[in-house]
Amino acid sequence: MKKIDLLQAPFVQEMIETTTNLYRLGWDERNGGNISYLLQEEELAPFLDLTKVIREIPMIFDASALAGRYFIVTGSGKYFKNVAKAPDNCLGIVRIKPDGKTLEVLWGLSEDGLPTSELPSHFMSHIERLKIDPEHRIVMHNHATHLLAMTFTHELTERALTRTLWQMCTECLVVFPEGVGIIPWIVPGTNEIGEATATKMQDFRLVVWPHHGIYGAGKDMDEVFGLIETAEKAAEVYTYVMAQGGVKQTITDQQLHALAKGFGVTPREGYLA
């Protein structure tokens, strides 16, 4: 049976649209940021010959827990502004071999390209989120500007940062009632930063990398983009508020409790009075 043009696949179009938006918003300058998207075999089959392996790439991380799984990922050193015009160069579809330490490239990553250097971090987070949410599919990392700025000026504890974000926009508590996780500053592209992020992913879908950016996870692209977008909007409002002289009034804990009850969400225990 003739395969459908892969560039028409919904998951490829989502990657193009999302990377274009992230670049437009200034959250993924140059080759900053990365996305990995867990795919099902039945999604790929109409578009791709899954028996044809272009080449293999060794990994520094044992992803045996994801053996046989398929992902579309952004490439290492690839500029998000170029994804729309050269998707086969900037993106790649890979499958993890049974040994857990080898990637099979099935499409893309042309000119001997490699997946994002943060792929081990992504895989670690995918493993942890799948334990919690079987519908989980997306891990996204970017440098959302105002959230990044807050890591230089705001108290870097999860409770304090979460409370500030909840108080800046009414929808924040509803969108991420579990709050925002924070790891220490760690060299990116290492297993160490991946392990720290994955540990936080056991409790949070948003994890802040101080002085660097943010990681988000969820069941689809809209959910993850929306999570980061909502937290970033709150951080932007906080920036304006501080520039205007600081907080004089805000959403109270009593009001946040009422909000949680109204929308049927449970705020992280101990974060509200």
User: Distance between CA 210 and CA 216 in Å, rounded?
Assistant: 14
Instruction: Indicate the annotated binding residues.
Output: 141, 143, 212
Asked if 133 contacts 219 with a C-beta cutoff of 8 angstroms, the reply is yes
Cβ neighbour number for residue 191 with a 10 Å cutoff: 13
Cβ neighbour number for residue 33 with a 10 Å cutoff: 22
In the block, residue with structure tokens 């501080």: 242
Asked if 213 contacts 150 with a C-beta cutoff of 8 angstroms, the reply is no
* HSE value, Cβ hemisphere, 13 Å, CA-based, for 6: 16
Residues forming the active site: 118
Name the nearest CA neighbour of 238 among 167, 176, 182: 167
Cβ neighbour number for residue 254 with a 10 Å cutoff: 10
Name the nearest CA neighbour of 151 among 226, 212, 201, 227: 212
Structure tokens at 141: 């990392």
Instruction: Indicate the annotated binding residues for Zn(2+).
Output: 141, 143, 212
Report the amino acid identity of residue 183.
Answer: I
User: Distance between CA 35 and CA 224 in Å, rounded?
Assistant: 10
